[in-house]
Amino acid sequence: MKSTILAILALLLMPGCIIQDIHDQIALSNEKLQQIDESFEKVEQANASLTKLDVQMERLQTLDSIDENLMLMNERIDTLQKDLNAVSEHLASLRKTINNIDNTIPFLKFSGDEEDEAAETEPETEANPTNNPLVEPAEPVKDPTK
């Protein structure tokens, strides 16, 4: 009889233990799911940051291509400036030669300066008091990246 009562008591207590164990496992599962949700939120924040970083990188690549284009333009401008300086020197030499011809043979008047000098003398001294040529060869453009 004692063993029967103990067996009945054991049977009555066992289902409670199983239910408690199931309850504990569900609570543990809920905690794990909450941790997983927090991890997903962190991953989503990291993805948003990476997206912003991608946009910034694209902007930087655009700026790099603009910088390369500007450097190429500077090189071309330097080449053009050298050519313009050479043309300017050549024209100055040609002007000197024409003035020499005019001085040597006064009746030819290749330059036409004497006719224009009377009209231009006063405005030239007012606009350009130093009497330097109004058009001077430009200095080469310096590359700001160097």
Q: Are 70 and 128 in contact (CB under 8 A)?
A: no
Range with the poorest average pLDDT among 9-18, 60-69, 80-89, 129-138: 129-138
Structure confidence at residue 8 (pLDDT): 67
Question: Is the confidence at residue 36, as pLDDT, over 90?
Answer: yes
Q: How confident is the model at residue 10 (pLDDT cuts 50, 70, 90)?
A: low
- The answer to whether the pTM exceeds 0.85 is no
H-helix or E-strand spanning residue 40: helix 2-104
d(CA 109, CA 102): 5
Distances (CA, A) of 105 to 3, 58, 94, 111, 143: 149, 69, 16, 12, 48
The Cα–Cα gap between 119 and 62 comes to: 54
Query: Mapping DSSP to helix (H, G, I), strand (E, B) and coil, where does residue 140 land?
Result: coil
Q: What is the mean pLDDT of residues 113-122?
A: 50
The answer to whether 86 touches 140, Cβ cutoff 8 Å, is: no
Residue 101, judged by CB atoms within 10 A of its CB (0-12, 13-18, 19+), counts as: middle
